[in-house]
Every structure is written in structure tokens, then in C-alpha cells.
Structure 1
Amino acid sequence: MRVEQLSTRSDIAALLERLDVDAGGRKILAAKAALHFLYIRDLHVGAANILKQDALSVGADLAVPKGTIVAKTPRVDALLLATSRQLQELSRKELAQPFGLKELAAELKRFAGMQKPGPVKVMGVVNTNEDSFFAGSRFKDSAAVAHIETMIEEGALIIDLGGVSSRPGSAAVPEHEELERVKPVIDAAYAHRLYERAAFSLDSYAPRVISYALERGFSIVNDITGLADDAVAKLCGEYGATAVIMHMQGTPQTMQAQPEYNDLFGELTDFFESRIAKAKAFGVEQIVLDVGIGFGKTLEHNLKLIRDLEHFRRFGYPLLVGASRKSMIAKIVPSEPSERLPGTLALHLEAVRNGAEIIRAHDVKAHTQALKIYEALYHA
């Protein structure tokens, strides 16, 4: 007999298949293997005591502050540790309980039912403006088209074209000027039918520019304002385009002026709920969510969003992360944008581990290789 300790990140489905476990057993065991840490804020102390006992009864547990059992304070924060199977059982138990636990039951059910993320796609970045923070992403006309073809060959499944910088402090650009910058690349990509080889995304929130791109093979709108403009939402609905809804606090001109949140995850959750509802109201069916790394966030905010990204899988939409060569890396290890590929790969692989399905990157070849190695390690 020999015992091997396996990583908790091992592909449980593959392990159960190797053991030839029957189909029903695989489903049950997979649910038992998925462990969730749910941080519950502002819980009624009575609810905390009930939830604690119910959690223990199904084999889970709830960490609560000292004094909770004697109701030292009226409301507390708590940490629930439970498998997917235990969350399902708890969601049924709490439906009959007071103190807001019925509402909590719906949340527990949502987390318990989250699907496994799909295959990861690399979104290659191409900028036609002169002021993008990373010089290696700036191309014009024929050079941009050649770079797009190279990125597709290197493994990019999505190409993200932008004509306006959104770096902190960047200036706004008139709509007609933005169109002049991206028009030659859009036209050339359409003429060469490159949209048949990869999905094309426009990084813009200008309706006129978006309309031009959607008429010429583009199928994704990457909107850093998160569909703030009704006209953009309407275009996405009319063309059947995928809308990338990104969160940003403030504007590119103001977003990094001491960004603050009373409740980071709560505020982003409320934002996504509101903008998803808006998208659906305009007939948008395909949605991607982007937490907006570096867009109105401190280093601590960015790190927490990547580390706990799985929280946003609750919405059931693919998650996009774009930390490529951003200044948050330099705040940990002083460096210029040209030196930040290793830090980028570390952040993006952690994002993938936590549920990201689309990685927006300047360096497609390096990301394709890193992701293949990651897949071989944990999903082969």
C-alpha cells in the first residue's frame, strides 16, 4: 500500500474518471471536493448563531467573533467554510429561518451552483494611438494588421483594437479623431476577413466608432464605462454583439486620485447587477464582466480582486482580467512597462486559477505558452 498526497487544485473530475467511479458518484464527490470560503458581512447575531449550528449539522463550519453566542453585538461578520454539497444543504435549511437567513439561502444556492470556468482565451491588445502606456502595443495601419496576424498565429482567439488611451490621466479624444485612428485597421482586417480567424473586439465607448466596427466584422464591444451610454447598449443589442462590462471608479482623468471603497466587493457587485440588468433591457445576450484592474483601484484593491475573483462568477458570465504590464507590478517590484512580463504572467495565472476565462494581454505568445503549461499541470 502507498499513499500519495495530491494538490487540492487537482482536476477532481479526471481523478474520479481514472478511478472509474460511476457517473452518479462522480457528481456527488465533485460537489464534496469543491471548498468555498464565504465571507458574510453584517449578519444579524441571531442569524449567526443559527447558521453556526446548521453549518455544523451538515459538516461545514462558521467562524464568528468572540461573544457571538451571547449576542455581544447586534450584528457580526462571519466566515463560512463549506463544500458545494454542504452549501446546497444549507441553502435548503435556511429557507425556513428568520433574521434574513431566507435571503442568504438564495446566495448560498447561487454559489453552490457555480459552473466550472470554460477554456481560457487570450485577448491580444493592439493600440493605434501614440500615448498608450506600453509602447510595444502601438501600431499603425499595415503594421497593425501584420501584428494582428502574428498574434492570431501565436494563439490569440480575440483581438482587442483601441484608438484612445485609458491610462490614468489620459486625455479624452473627439469621436471623429478616434475613428480616424482605427478606421484603416478596421477596414484592412475586414478586407482580409481576419474576423474569420479570431473574434474582434473594439476598446471604445464612442457610438459612432463602435457602429463602424460592428458593421465590419467586429463582434465584441469592450466598454471601459460599462455601458454607461444607452447608445452603446443599444448598438450591442441591435448587432448581437458581446458587451464587455468593465468597472471603473471615476474617469481615466480622475480614477487614480486616491480611490476609496467602503465595501469593494459590495460596490462592484451592485454595479454589475445594475449594468447587467441594463444590458438585458437593451437585448444584449452575450456579456463578459471585467473588474477593471487599475481603473480606480489601489494596489491592495487590485490584488484582492485578483485573489478573490471567484466571487464574481456568481453572475454566471465569463470574467475578463487585464493586468498586462500595469503599474501595480511596479508598486511591488520597481520596473518599467517593458520589464513587467514576468509580473504580468504571475497575476494572470492567478486570475485564471480563480476563474478568469479571458486574459487581455500584450504578449500573446508568452501567455499561450504559460497557459498550456498551466493546463498540463492541473487539467491534463
Structure 2
Amino acid sequence: MKKTFTKYINVNGRLMDLSYPQVMGILNLTPDSFYADSRKQSEAEIIARARQICEEGGSIIDVGAYSSRPNAEHIAAGEEMERLRKGLQIILREQPDAVISVDTFRADVARMCVEEYGVALINDISAGEMDADMFPTVARLGVPYILMHMQGTPQTMQQAPHYDNLLKEILLYFARKVQQLRDLGAKDLIIDPGFGFGKNLEHNYELLDKLDEFQIFELPLLVGVSRKSMIYKLLGGGPEDALNGTTVINTLALDRGADILRVHDVKAATEAVQIYAAMKGLKPTED
């Protein structure tokens, strides 16, 4: 299915054109994210990572303070906020022009990050399922909102996930969620199919194969497969061995309509975008 519509999101009063795919670099403020090299907690580590994302071509920095890996430890909202306050202060001081997304499922955390730190996007792995206040909150805040599909919670999502019809169930899930958000006046919605979240190996590759079906919503599509188990469970090794597989899947995702790639390895993803864009004759928008 070809993309026949133009997608823009409003980030801090500036339109970001997603007709040229964008790269979102991951900056984890957690001590227990699944990929050890992504954990950044000291000031020097946070500064270096934020600089690296920007220098390697990332247009969005996605900051997370709650690990969503399978069986992750559940932390209180106060601890998540404390980690984010520290991290956001450093990032904004060092990269004041950066477009920042915050990865949280909590409405109070989202509100704090937008109102106190000017965060541009909210990235919610639960699409409002883990906090009933999230939808009205993002609608009031007026920031772009990434809603992801997940079956279960981070603590339960890999306990025998099951679907009668994977694609149909996920498409209906998003149809319902998007309508709820639009009824509240939310704008700039971004869909994330949720690779690895309540999906087994076969589910993930079926989802990848059918990714172009999500164009039906005429909304931006975010894909996050970076170094996930769907790669190394198939090819062997661990997260540290999964860069090549990540790049292959990112390239396939771009050809199936992905508008944003959420990644650990920004340079590799940026190069994949450049090659894909050259093939399609796409040009980045000049600021």
C-alpha cells in the first residue's frame, strides 16, 4: 500500500515533515534497560549520549526513566519523575534546540515534563491503558502523542501472548484508541505497533510483513525494533549482537511505510534512511 498523504507533526511550534523518515534516538535514564549499553545515569553519560544522538542525525531524543523490558521492576511515579528531572535539565542545558520525547505511561509524569521542561512529544507504551488520565491529559497539553499497542503490561506481556487474528485485533485496537483521542480533541497522533510487547517471535514477523496495512489510518507510523529479542532469538546471540538485524528490519519497515525509527544506534538508522530516501527520491525538508 503506497503512502498517498503527507504527514506533519507540530513539535514546539515547528512543523516536522515526516515525508522524509526521521530517526528517534533512545536515551535511557534507567539502571535496568534490556540493552546494557543504552543505560545512561551519570551527568557525563547523559551529555555524551544526547550529543551523540544529535551529531549522528537523530531528530528526536526519546528519554525514558521507566524500564519496559519484560519482567521489569515497577517503580513509583516519584522515582520516575526524579530521574527525568535530572536528565531533562542536563539535556536541555547541553542541547537546547533538541526535540525531546518522554517515554512514560503516567499522565502526571507527562504533564510535568511538558509544562516544566517543554518536552515536545509523549511516547506511551500502553496507549492510555495503564493510566486513565493519559488521554485527556495529552489532549489538553496539545503535544504529539505516540500510542503503542501492548498486550498485558511490561511485567506480564511475554507470558504466552495469544491472538485469534493478530492484524485484525491490533487494527481494531488502534481504531478505537484513535477515535477516543480525537473525540477529546487530541492532535498529532502517531501509531506504534509495539514490536515485542505482548507478541511472540511469529507475531512480530507477521506484524512486520503486514506493516503497510497501518497506512489505513493516515497517521505517522513509528517502528521500534532496536536490538530486540525478535532479532537475536532468530539469529542467535544477545542484544549486543543485534545491530545488523536491526538495520535489516528498519530498512524493511521503511519500505512498508515507517515514518519514525526508534533506535539505539542512530548512525546506522540514519544511513538506512539515507539509502531508502535516495532510492525513493526523497529530500529532507530544509528548516
Same fold per superposition (TM over 0.5) = yes
Task: Report if the CA contact (8 A) 1:114-1:314 is conserved.
Answer: no
1:202 aligned residue:
102
Given residue 266 of structure 1, which amino acid in structure 2 is its aligned partner? Answer: K
Task: Report if the CA contact (8 A) 2:227-2:239 is conserved.
Answer: yes
Given residue 157 of structure 1, which amino acid in structure 2 is its aligned partner? Answer: S
Cα distance in structure 2, aligned partners of 1:114 and 1:375: 16
1:259 aligned residue:
161
The structure that has the greater radius of gyration is 1
Cα distance in structure 1, aligned partners of 2:151 and 2:102: 21
Cα distance in structure 2, aligned partners of 1:370 and 1:221: 25
Q: Please say if 1:218 is aligned against 2:119.
A: yes
1:283 aligned residue:
185
Cα distance in structure 1, aligned partners of 2:106 and 2:47: 22
Task: Report if the CA contact (8 A) 1:126-1:148 is conserved.
Answer: yes
More displaced 10-residue stretch of structure 1: 322-331 or 185-194: 185-194
Deviation at 1:327, TM superposition (A): 0.5
Q: Please say if 1:184 is aligned against 2:86.
A: yes
Deviation at 1:370, TM superposition (A): 2.1
Deviation at 1:116, TM superposition (A): 6.7
2:16 aligned residue:
none
Q: Please say if 1:341 is aligned against 2:243.
A: yes
Q: Please say if 1:115 is aligned against 2:10.
A: no
Contiguous gaps of at least 5 residues in structure 1: 1-35, 37-83, 85-112
Cα distance in structure 2, aligned partners of 1:234 and 1:374: 37
Given residue 128 of structure 1, which amino acid in structure 2 is its aligned partner? Answer: L
Task: Report if the CA contact (8 A) 1:329-1:335 is conserved.
Answer: no
Tell me which of 236, 240, 247 is aligned to 2:142.
Answer: 240
Q: Residue deviations 1:176-219, cap 9 Å, x none?
A: 0111112111122334462x2x3211100122221121021211
Task: Report if the CA contact (8 A) 1:159-1:201 is conserved.
Answer: yes
1:375 aligned residue:
277
Q: Please say if 1:132 is aligned against 2:33.
A: yes
Q: What's the Cα RMSD here?
A: 1.7
Query: What SS class does the counterpart of residue 230 from structure 1 fall into?
Result: coil
Task: Report if the CA contact (8 A) 1:190-1:217 is conserved.
Answer: no
Q: Residue deviations 1:220-239, cap 9 Å, x none?
A: 11001112233222221122
Structure with the larger helix share: 1
- Mapping 1:1-380, distance limit 5 Å: 114-115=4-5, 118-142=19-43, 143-192=45-94, 194=96, 196=97, 198-215=98-115, 216-228=117-129, 229-379=131-281
Aligned residue pairs total 268
- More contact order relative to length (CA 8 Å, sep ≥ 6): 2
Task: Report if the CA contact (8 A) 1:162-1:203 is conserved.
Answer: yes
Task: Report if the CA contact (8 A) 1:219-1:242 is conserved.
Answer: yes
Contiguous gaps of at least 5 residues in structure 2: 8-18, 283-287
Cα distance in structure 2, aligned partners of 1:149 and 1:308: 35
Deviation at 1:115, TM superposition (A): 2.7
More displaced 10-residue stretch of structure 1: 288-297 or 361-370: 361-370
Deviation at 1:378, TM superposition (A): 3.4
- Name the % identity: 37
Q: Residue deviations 1:25-44, cap 9 Å, x none?
A: xxxxxxxxxxx5xxxxxxxx
Cα distance change, pair 158–250 in 1 and its aligned pair in 2 (3 A): same
Given residue 271 of structure 1, which amino acid in structure 2 is its aligned partner? Answer: Y
Cα distance in structure 2, aligned partners of 1:221 and 1:145: 21
Query: What is the TM-score normalised by the length of structure 2?
Result: 0.89
